[in-house]
Structure 1
Amino acid sequence: SVRNELLSVDLHNRSVKALITSLKNTIALDFFHGPDHDAIFWTDVVNDKIYKGTMVDGSLSNTEVVVQTGLATAEGLAVDWIGENLYWVESNLDQIEVAKLNGSFRRTLIAGDMENPR
């Protein structure tokens, strides 16, 4: 990610391809590797949303918003492949949150008393 686009790098021939462009300010990125699909998750701190795109034949498709409300500055992002959870850090709200990969069952895990969470 270079803040305004997501890039893919082919490690065999070192070619670089844009997966998605025209993003506002992408800060965090992680991926999910599952038995039936692969996905990329990213945050945009201008739009204050967390997005998901499905990888199909080396291209990103089916882009959707998975968390769209209550975000201030989602800077850190981690995907739990086993539990299929999505964790993120809200640096302005000073908290760590979790939700299922589709954005459901959202909860705040830790709030306050953190110094520069990210």
Structure 2
Amino acid sequence: MKRLILGSLSFVFLSQVITSVAQAQIQATQSTTDYTSNLVQQLTPFELVNMAYQGHFQEQGIPGYMLFVSAHHTGRLRAETLVEAAIRAKKLSPQLLTDQGYLNAVEAQIRRVIVR
């Protein structure tokens, strides 16, 4: 009988501990999700340039398709211009405007799209 009571109490105690840990993990995940949902989505340079080429940033002044190519050839479209447009569209974090590695990758991707 003592074993049954002791076993039952142990089970109840462990259940409470496991439930508390699970709830803490869920709350941590929810607070992280709430925090990151307020953050801006981060696009790879490939995604950014392809979206721009397809006309997703026309409202921000970035032309699509052949006008995209023409704008780059005439110097009206640079990596910085595209990143600024994506920031205004809330698709990129403003910190990427000072990330030279990201800007170089965007410029390289623009050149790949233009050569197609």
When normalised by structure 2's length, the TM-score is 0.21
Say which one has the larger Rg: 2
Q: Which has the higher helix share?
A: 2
